[in-house]
Amino acid sequence: MTDISILELKNITQAIREKFGYDFSNYASSSYKRRLLRILDMHKINVETLIEKVNNNNFTKEDFLHEITVNVTEMFRDPSFWKSTRSLLTTMAASRDKIKIWHAGCSSGEEVFSMLIVLKELGLLHRTEIVASDIDKSILVKAKEAKIPVKSMEIHKHNYERYCGSTDIEKYFTKQGDLYAFDKTLLEKISFREVDLVKAIPFSKFDFVLCRNVLIYFNNNLQNDVLKLISDCLFDGGMLAIGAKESISWCEVANKFVPLNVEERIFKKNRS
């Protein structure tokens, strides 16, 4: 199947909403259709059959979300971003006794593991609380397990070296067969939560929210809603990081933020 019609897209979205309680109507249509087409191709079915499978419980909610959401990430992805984050966290720590961080859309955890290493090397981990959330329960299970394939360590190692970390990244892992297990003592600082950003309400206050490469999958209406949510969850003076291809300049809460690093898309919430 090479494309999905507007009516077919509407029917699939309605079936998912009614069966699973997840509303994909405000996801960016191009990426949403690509993921749906991938499901159709993988299972060698058409749209009508997919809807039948959803309605007849041939797809579980977890299986479907795992297929429809994007879970591709690396440790220390975009090393220059992590260098900027390291510097800004150092400055932030000088005026706060505790730092609360939210990774919104944490996927399989590589970004969170990177943050833990940054905080550990800055000597700030004991002063930090981290919430890592995602809509996909199965990917959260993977993140909690905190194990990465040996074959993927090379790219993580390369990114960490470009970030100019203070040691060898493998120091934070224990090799277990064809996997590397992340240091469990560092993981104690994380609370993993299942959060659907489409329906979420403010649930805490944070000093730093990372929502990188998530907004790009939403249309403007949903991006605006999510950015309002994040703004409500940030302390005055707190930081927001978004993806390199994302923007907040057009949204309703844009006037609440000033850029800290334009190139790395890091912003500071104005004090009221």
Asked whether residue 156 carries a pLDDT value surpassing 90, the answer given is yes
Note if the pTM is more than 0.75: yes
CATH number of 6-68: 1.10.155
Query: Distance between CA 41 and CA 176 in Å, rounded?
Result: 34
Q: Where in the chain is the domain with CATH 1.10.155?
A: 6-68
Provide the token pair at 126.
């004991």
* CATH, range 79-269: 3.40.50.150
Residues 2-21 have pLDDT tens digits of: 689 989 999 999 999 999 88
Percent of the chain clearing pLDDT 70 (strictly above): 98
| Residue 270 pLDDT > 80 | yes
Structure token pair of residue 2: 């090479």
pLDDT level of residue 149 (50, 70, 90 thresholds) = very high
| β 206-211/128-134 pair status | unpaired
Q: Are 82 and 118 in contact (CB under 8 A)?
A: yes
Indicate where the chain has its CATH 3.40.50.150 domain(s).
Answer: 79-269
pLDDT by residue (tens digit) across 36-95?
Answer: 998 898 889 999 999 998 898 888 777 777 777 766 689 999 999 999 999 999 999 999
Average pLDDT score over residue span 248-264:
95
What separation, in Å, do the N-terminal and C-terminal C-alpha atoms of the chain show?
A: 52
**Sequence-distant (≥ 6) Cβ neighbours of residue 268 within 8 angstroms:** 237, 238, 239, 240, 257, 258, 259, 260
Both tokens assigned to 63: 């299986």
**95-107 residue pLDDT tens:** 999 999 999 999 9
